[in-house]
Structure 1
């Protein structure tokens, strides 16, 4: 009996060992066909839910604040609608009127005698915007470095302005960064004409000090000494409660973590895009990109046109689905938002940038505005004003 037991154990070990060796071979020379299911995570969804309105309101506040009279007619605000990310069927005036504790409405008569709605800022919103401007000035060099690192991820150190425009809110850049930010650093950035005739932004020099990924930076805290020496950095992983991994998937993931890590700041043209080693590099690129954002999240569509500039393979965003322990895809707000799991402890960021804290104050103001409006607070105050 003992002999049989030992024989069975050895046989079972041999099977598992063969499986393991098979995975290692496949991962180095092919892309292992593993599919992991998407599982809803209410906590992760909660960090995305308010972002759409916050972004739209934040950009509008910035635009109004920058105007000479701190008040703009609705048709002037509508010119910036493309930046706001609001649903096509939602009128801009309707959105602005949701938050009377932020946007103060007035009007003037046009040449035909019709009233034209105008919007300024409430005292609370004005106060918060002033704080935000001060924080932006205090952190301008740190924000500059974020933009430098983004460009360093790209081939030839340049990206189309259209691509940067999609990420500017996430990176903490001003809505008018081309004029108010880039022109303050002519020794670092330059506007260039791209081969497809679009305008791009180019980084003028490489900075080795910035060419260190977040994963490498935290290696001494998160990695084992053996992994650091071998260069096989492991990504922090956590799953939604109740998420179950099959044994085969667990073995694959364990061996995938042991594959060589290629820094997103190094040339990876030598990698075969049909291998797990190449996929680990893709994961590393987006792990770094999400770390460059303030909220450690961005809409999936914002990265869809990064394939060529970042030298990524076809269908590169599939990496988000294959690695739900690193990335969470939220389907809130009628879009898909990619969130970096390790950046959150529950529904809170592990480390909050000063600009995030200001945005949280704006978010609280938005919630208060909706609540007070539903209670009829502003309707009553307007009636009192008319009675006066």
Structure 2
């Protein structure tokens, strides 16, 4: 008889939630809230500087990995996709901005035409040596763990190498990490064949010690007590938050936190709880990067491996107090707000300190070049017994196959 009594929906949900808590948390649908984008004059310069820094570091790594620390321009131009330079900026033009980092000289190609080559100067070579010492000695375990955690975020512990390449510099991985880092740990990683003649990297061993999110590690006592975890939030000056949005955000923070390292297939993607889990995934992903930021297009390409719903990057726009979207450099870069204070990283990785040395050299070289301290000298070379002055602007070689090994910033939809 007791079961014939009609119960309200809320009574049923409460009754079931007593035995199945996750059922209760999904009764709330995704709230339609739109928050405006406000320019952050403190974080925008951080992004601008880092875009140029990434290009410089990548070029230094390419040259540093070569036996004589030098390469022709047509080889460097092949990796344009990894540099993140504006479409209208030639690789050679960017390199020539910093003559104290990249020394230019000329060598003849197979047809006798002089081609610009670049090599590292002794000053930057010393910094590069310090960087490699950090990567392979002092911070080896830390960088290896970052790669492991990246793969642990995916549903199959697997990512195409092309996807990792796009995140390589941000994660602090060295150039040619496949051979110098991954191949030396066969007990942890394996290369697997993927459709369309692609190669993927698979994590073989799950480490429970690493399966702890950044938010959980910072709130360990609360996490142990099963208290809902809230994300640190901050808004720039001039950001007017309406009362309705403030109330929604306050309630949203109270929702259960789902670790990005646990199975979340039971969550309804149409709920705020699922959205909080998505925010948690990218909160952890950004914390895996050295500078706590990533280009949005590189994040979007992870939808398949991370098992995300359609338009999942909308969380960046719905939560401007957690993430900031910078539009500098002709791209969109997602920055983790809590990681910065007055434009400076609060917690600096040792690699960030090394990269600051590159920044100092870039500023010095650019200023000295603009002041005329590095006068453009004619590159002399003797051909057919004659001394000639050449000025070569081409980034291609006529008889060389210049198909890029990294032709696009976009990963195919098969990811």
Query: 1:72-221 counterparts in 2 under 5 A?
Result: 72-137=71-136, 138-195=138-195, 197-220=197-220
Seen in structure 2, the aligned counterparts of structure 1 residues 80 and 135 have a Cα distance that, compared at 3 Å, is same
Q: 1:196 to 1:261 in 2, by over 3 A?
A: farther
Q: Once superposed, which parts of structure 1, at least 4 consecutive aligned residues long, lie more than 4 Å away?
A: none
Cα RMSD after superposing both structures: 1.8
Unpaired runs of at least 5, structure 1: 1-24
Structure 1 Cα separation of the partners of residues 202 and 110 of structure 2: 45
- Residues matched between the structures, number: 355
8 Å contact from structure 2 (residues 327, 333) kept in 1 = yes
Q: What TM-score do you get using the length of structure 1 for normalisation?
A: 0.88
Contact 1:28 1:277 in 2 (8 A): no
Deviation at 1:47, TM superposition (A): 1.1
Q: CA deviation at 1:345?
A: 1.1
TM-score if structure 2 supplies the norm length?
0.82
Please state which structure has a larger fraction of its residues in helix.
Answer: 1
Please state if 1:57 is matched with 2:56.
yes
Given that 2:86 and 2:329 are in contact with CA atoms closer than 8 Å, whether structure 1 keeps it comes out as no
**SS of equivalent to 2:284:** helix
Report the alpha carbon displacement of residue 113 of structure 1 after superposing the two structures with TM.
3.0
Task: For residue 35 of structure 2, give the secondary structure of its aligned residue in structure 1.
Answer: coil
Return 173-182 or 336-345, whichever deviates more. 173-182
Unmatched tracts of structure 2, length 5 or more: 1-23, 381-415
- Aligned equivalent of 1:377, options 373, 377, 385: 373
1:181 partner SS? helix
Q: What is the distance in 1 between the residues matched to 2:152 and 2:195? A: 19
Q: What are the Cα deviations for residues 137-195 of structure 1, in whole angstroms up to 9, with x where unaligned?
A: 12111101000001000011111111111101100001211121111111100001235
How far off is 1:261 after superposition?
0.3
Distance 1:74 1:267, change over 3 A: same
Would the aligned equivalents of 2:324 and 2:335 in 1 still touch at CA under 8 Å? yes
> Residue 331 of structure 1: CA displacement?
0.6
Range that drifts further, 263-272 or 173-182: 173-182
Range with bigger deviation, 51-60 or 266-275: 51-60
In the TM superposition, residue 111 of structure 1 has moved relative to its aligned partner by 3.8
Match of 2:16 in 1: none
Aligned 8 A contact 1:26 1:32 in 2: no
Mapping 1:1-388, distance limit 5 Å: 28-137=27-136, 138-195=138-195, 197-220=197-220, 225=222, 229-379=225-375, 382=377
Deviations 1:266-287 (A, max 9, x none): 0000000000000000000000
